[in-house]
A and B are shown apart, each in its own frame.
Chain A
Amino acid sequence: MPNPQNQTPMIALRGVTKRFPMTLANDHIDLDIFGSEIHALLGENGAGKSTLMKILFGFYRADAGEIQLNGKSITIRSPRDAHEYRIGMVFQDLNLIPAFSVAENIALFLPDLKAVLKPQEIDERINEVSKQYGLEVNPRALVSQLSIGEQQKVEILKLLLSNARLLILDEPTRVLAPHEVEALFGVLDNLRKDGYAIVLITHKLKEVLECADRITVLRGGRVAGSLLRAEATEEKLVALMFEKELSGLKIAEPKRDEMSTPVLELRGVETYVEGAGMSLKGINLQIRPGEIVGVAGVSGNGQKELCDVVLGMELCVRGEKYLFGKNLTNRPVGAMRKNGVSFIPENPLAMASVPFMTVLENMALTQTWRYARNGGFAMDWGVVKADIQQTAKRLEFPVNFYTIAKSLSGGNLQRMVILREMTHDPRLIVASYLTRGLDVQSALAARQALIQAREGGAGVLLVSEDLEELFTLSDRLLVLYGGRIVGEFKPPETDIYQVGHLMTGSKVEHVANG
């Protein structure tokens, strides 16, 4: 590692302060970012990481403070200025335009885009870079048809093509499969060698210790500490991030009756998706009360469709769906909700919240029939609050009922959705990427909540790309590939490698024959 002590940093932040109407998001932050380094930014949900980086990118304007580029003070008033100074950023809540193609989304950010577009040329450039870095996408595909993992890849491509020297990546790994994370770190490592500066925001401590050169921890809008990798350990980082110590996950074995009626049963379910989506083919699945069934797979292999079909947002063209033995095939979402089905979707901003409503209103949204009074002409907000507060206490999540959902930090939004979906003792929980964007402590609480629900006899369908999470939580593990279930295991009978191989399709033949 070069010795940055004698170097001027590429970017230096001095006393950066940002106040939002309800929060002091950044409080006199000093930060040095060096060329040829990966700088990890850590901190619990709402610590102010995204805000700080959006200030550097010109998306927000700081109330006070200074930004220096190679020792010279600069002003960044808008992303346009940031592009000038060759600063690029991938936002946490991805910012692609769904109605545009991949190529159009990337073209929008190309610094040398010609006044007249040459679609052919743009496609070629995308293909070239996507091959070079192993981020394969189809430039002509519409973004609305991509899974969130693929969208993340497009965002990274967009950044790589934007000619930036400082790359800011806000939680890029939270939706990627293990091998994709590894590939991404390979890319980042190469960029580091080429002299780029990289800021990586993440909640995964292992990743940080694996690839970062320098680590800064934020807490409550201030810098809690800055370490070189050599000095850092997991314990030290956790101690900097949180006030209290982390407890371990408490797993109690649930009582389970193998013969009881399954909470959910899918028999030969098939869906049909137009275009680039993934249709499900011949899905047979049973979830017993008190059972967590994990679904492993690279995103885009039918996970979204599986969840949608269970919830009733996607039609089965063939096959049947039973809830507690009742045939509820192709019944509307409302019917599923009333039967105690909870849903934590893969993209909470787009699929589980109304951005301009308050948190409280969002909390009541899925259960309006429960809170309606006077035949629907009034809502009992007090009860909504009481219900949510009870769950919040159990999970130790903070809630602020009167903020607008859109202004929540990524992790706080996820916490809001989890709170809502864990209230009212759900009997079936469909959870996609449960801990996405959560800090270590909240992730633990969310997993604990799932385990509690299992003890209470609920069934859980848990979709994730985090194999470690799946192995600890699942009673049974399915692997989804190309819209089919290509493997089914009890976690002790298998290992991460076998599942990883199945996920990428490298052993599909073998399983199909055997």
Chain B
Amino acid sequence: MSLLSILGVLSSAIFSGTSLLYTTLGEVIGQRSGIVNLGLEGVLLVSASSGFAVTVITGNPFLGLLAAALIGGLTNMILGYLVIHRKANQLASGLALMFFGFGLSALIGKPYVGARINGLPRIPLPGTSGLPQLYTSLFSFDILIHLSIPTAILVWWILFRTRWGLGLRAVGENADTAFASGRDPRLIRYQALFLSGLLAGLGAAHLSIAYTMNWTEYMTAGRGFIAVALVIFSRWHPMRAIVGALVFSGAVAFQLLLQSSGVQVSPFLLDTIPYVLTILVLIAWGGNRRQSAPASLGCVYHGTE
């Protein structure tokens, strides 16, 4: 295996992992407030299709990006209304949201299948300009990739170093205590879901506007669910989400490389590599008291009498 192919794997891991990372960061925020969003897949699809549509219409990928993020936040508000106001079951509501997203995104994206766009512009990594063209093109990233790690740090900072983040985590642990401290658990959960949707929208935008630069039905291919799994993998911590997203998409890229290089192993078996690897990492890391799920994850907040 040449250096070039290894760098190729790394580059493709970064490209395909970015949408996962944003989505996972968003879900970390949502779950820290106590809400599991199984509808992420749908949210991603709606955001990806509408972001792509706006880019085609306006010709401006940044407007598409903005639209995708906002639509992501708004779509999450549907889940918010169901589980916060109507006190519906989170898992059932999430699945309903997912199917809604499948349909809606197909509708939005239909006229734009096969449309061409100018994606987000690529900016080479600083310091790679001296390398041969082949290498620079591998590490020429769009703005969302450049901002992904700063975003993870920002999410960490918001959760652990701000008053709002403290309140948000308190709601996810014990909403009654948060209420007694003078906060409104319902409002905080709406805010968390909106922010979570914004980040998922950015992830979706990266997929359709920066990475693949097209729209096809069901193009997210399970990323919403993988993001939910990565939240558990990263044990609700934004910094570990970076590792999770990279490991997972790296494994995907690696097995694609193996398949294309003609290894005599069933491609179905190779397909399982990323998942097996994820399980192995989970086993190796284990769990401990300090980092377990937010205590009232998935619980309905009933308020007091």
Q: Report A's interface with B, CB cutoff 8 A.
A: 20, 54, 57, 59-61, 78-80, 82-83, 89, 91, 95-100, 104, 107-109, 113-117, 142, 144
State whether A108 touches B178 (Cβ < 8 A).
yes
- A selection of 7 A-B contacts at a CB cut-off of 8 Å is A79-B179, A80-B184, A95-B180, A99-B290, A115-B162, A142-B289, A144-B289
Question: A100-B173, A108-B181 known; A115 and B305 CB under 8 Å?
Answer: no
Give B95 Cβ to nearest chain A Cβ, in Å: 24
State whether A99 touches B163 (Cβ < 8 A).
no
Chain B stretch 133-166: residues in CB contact (< 8 A) with chain A: 161-164, 166
Question: A60-B305, A100-B170, A117-B166 known; A80 and B161 CB under 8 Å?
Answer: no
State whether B173 touches A91 (Cβ < 8 A).
no
A89 to B176 CA separation, bound complex (whole angstroms):
14
Residues of A within 8 A of B179 (CB): 59, 78-79
A108 to B182 CA separation, bound complex (whole angstroms):
9
A79 to B178 CA separation, bound complex (whole angstroms):
10
Which residue in chain A gives the minimum CB-CB distance to B169?
A100
- Best-surrounded residue of A83, A91, A114, A116 (most CB of chain B within 10 A): A116
Which residue in chain A gives the minimum CB-CB distance to B167?
A108
B-side interface mostly: helix
Q: Which of A59, A83, A113 contacts B304 (CB 8 A)?
A: A59
Which residue in chain B gives the minimum CB-CB distance to A113?
B163
Q: Which of B161, B162, B176, B304 contacts A95 (CB 8 A)?
A: B176
Which residue in chain B gives the minimum CB-CB distance to A21?
B305
Which residue in chain B gives the minimum CB-CB distance to A82?
B182
A246 to B289 CA separation, bound complex (whole angstroms):
46
Q: Is B295 an interface residue (CB 8 A)?
A: yes
A91 to B304 CA separation, bound complex (whole angstroms):
14
Which residue in chain A gives the minimum CB-CB distance to B183?
A80
Give A169 Cβ to nearest chain B Cβ, in Å: 14
State whether B161 touches A59 (Cβ < 8 A).
no
Question: A59-B304, A99-B295, A100-B173 known; A114 and B180 CB under 8 Å?
Answer: no
Q: Report B's interface with A, CB cutoff 8 A.
A: 161-164, 166-167, 169-170, 173-174, 176-184, 289-290, 292, 294-295, 304-305
A115 to B166 CA separation, bound complex (whole angstroms):
10
State whether B162 touches A116 (Cβ < 8 A).
yes
State whether B163 touches A117 (Cβ < 8 A).
yes
Residues of B within 8 A of A80 (CB): 182-184
Residues of A within 8 A of B181 (CB): 79, 108-109
Residues of A within 8 A of B169 (CB): 100
Which residue in chain B gives the minimum CB-CB distance to A145?
B289
State whether B162 touches A117 (Cβ < 8 A).
yes
Residues of B within 8 A of A95 (CB): 174, 176-177, 180
State whether A108 touches B170 (Cβ < 8 A).
yes
A462 to B161 CA separation, bound complex (whole angstroms):
44
Which residue in chain A gives the minimum CB-CB distance to B158?
A116
A59 to B164 CA separation, bound complex (whole angstroms):
21
Give A170 Cβ to nearest chain B Cβ, in Å: 12
Residues of A within 8 A of B166 (CB): 104, 107-108, 113, 117
A249 to B292 CA separation, bound complex (whole angstroms):
47
- Listed from nearest, the 9 A-B pairs whose CB atoms lie closest are A80-B182, A97-B173, A108-B181, A83-B182, A95-B177, A79-B180, A109-B181, A115-B163, A113-B163
Which residue in chain A gives the minimum CB-CB distance to B289?
A144
Give A62 Cβ to nearest chain B Cβ, in Å: 10
Q: A57-B180, A99-B173, A108-B170 are in contact. List 16 more A-B contacts (CB 8 A).
A: A20-B305, A79-B180, A79-B181, A80-B183, A80-B184, A89-B180, A95-B174, A96-B177, A97-B170, A97-B177, A99-B292, A108-B166, A115-B162, A116-B162, A116-B163, A142-B290
A330 to B169 CA separation, bound complex (whole angstroms):
36
State whether A61 touches B305 (Cβ < 8 A).
yes
Give A344 Cβ to nearest chain B Cβ, in Å: 24
Give A359 Cβ to nearest chain B Cβ, in Å: 19
A351 to B174 CA separation, bound complex (whole angstroms):
17
Which residue in chain A gives the minimum CB-CB distance to B164?
A115
Residues of A within 8 A of B184 (CB): 78, 80
Which residue in chain A gives the minimum CB-CB distance to B182?
A80
Which residue in chain B gives the minimum CB-CB distance to A109?
B181
Residues of B within 8 A of A78 (CB): 179, 182, 184
Which residue in chain B gives the minimum CB-CB distance to A104?
B166
A79 to B305 CA separation, bound complex (whole angstroms):
13
Question: A96-B177, A144-B289 known; A79 and B163 CB under 8 Å?
Answer: no
A117 to B182 CA separation, bound complex (whole angstroms):
17
Give B61 Cβ to nearest chain A Cβ, in Å: 33
Residues of A within 8 A of B182 (CB): 78-80, 82-83, 109
State whether A117 touches B161 (Cβ < 8 A).
yes
Residues of B within 8 A of A54 (CB): 304
State whether A91 touches B305 (Cβ < 8 A).
no
State whether A98 touches B170 (Cβ < 8 A).
no
Residues of A within 8 A of B295 (CB): 97-99
A96 to B163 CA separation, bound complex (whole angstroms):
17
Q: Which of A20, A59, A61, A113 contacts B180 (CB 8 A)?
A: A59
A79 to B162 CA separation, bound complex (whole angstroms):
21
A104 to B183 CA separation, bound complex (whole angstroms):
15
Give A90 Cβ to nearest chain B Cβ, in Å: 10
A449 to B45 CA separation, bound complex (whole angstroms):
64
Residues of B within 8 A of A79 (CB): 179-182
